[in-house]
Homo-oligomer: A and B are copies of this chain.
Amino acid sequence: MSDPSASDRSVFDQAVALEHAGGDWYHGHTHEAWANMVGPFGGSTAATMLNAILQHPKRHGDPLALTLNYAGPVADGRFDIEARPVRTNRSNQHWVLEMRQGDEVVTTATALTGLRRETWSETEAAPPEVPAPEELPRASEDRGVRWISNYDMRFVTGGWDDVAEEGSESSTTTMWIRDAQERPLDHLALTALGDSFFPRSFLRLGRPVPAGTVTLSVYYLATADELAAHGTDFVLGSVHSHRFHGNYHDESARLWSRDGTLLAVSNQLMYFKS
């Protein structure tokens, strides 16, 4: 990525921006444009944590996997991130991260970066058959949280309008999505997209309920050349849950490019009340 002056940076690049504070420490600030119900959108927090790794002088390879644990609400204002490379192997590297505000751990993470080489390659998970994003209307930004406005979302099935009445029989949402401020796709943006679906409990129950991600894992299946080729085009996302029970449910998402390249899969566990 280039390093433009702050005024030129997209609102996403502003949100994930970090300053090196020495050693394994970085600090940043929450961005009001990314506000969620409580604290910032989890996807921008995840991308910010990954950015500490991308900026770390000891980084070895591209992101392969990131697991974020949302330990508590991130308060508006400054945060500090420690990104420790705990083990560097020949072809990959393991990271342990914590985001702190004062004495409180607000987010923990582990991540893996690595070098990739050509191997046998095959995608088993074909994307669903959907209309092109140009044939679909841009979804309303009126969902009561500010970060939505940073995305151009176009629902195919299980949209926000289906969060109504008796609830849906299916937890699946399929949508096209890209940054509203056009910006080439990279690992940071892809990370945030992995958390960009509204909670599946809303769709099944037919109403918004208290809900929040507690843990999220993104696996970057695309190689750097594939991400670079994607450019600013829409990403096709599809997500569903397997089970809702005892205050928690899972979510499983796949993110494709328009040409059917499976860019990433993302899994999460969400808290919910009903």
State the A residues within 8 Å of B (CB).
64-65, 67, 69, 71-72, 86-87, 89, 91-92, 94, 96, 98, 104-106, 108-110, 112, 114, 116-125, 170-171, 204-205, 214-215, 217, 219, 221-223, 240-250, 252, 254, 262, 265, 267, 269, 271-274
- Tell me the dominant secondary structure on chain A's binding face: strand
Decide if B86 touches A121 in the complex (CB within 8 Å): no
Minimal Cβ-Cβ distance residue in B for A225: B246
Residues of B within 8 A of A110 (CB): 67, 69, 108-110, 215
Q: CA separation between A118 and B106, bound complex, in Å?
A: 27
* Copies of the protein in its oligomer: 2
Known contacts: A87-B105, A124-B170, A269-B65. The answer to whether A215 contacts B246 by CB under 8 A is no
Q: Contacts A94-B108, A244-B119 known; A215 to B217 CB distance under 8 Å? A: yes
Contact assessment for A273 and B119 in the assembled complex, using a CB-CB cutoff below 8 Å:
yes
Contacts of A262 in B (CB 8 A): 242-243
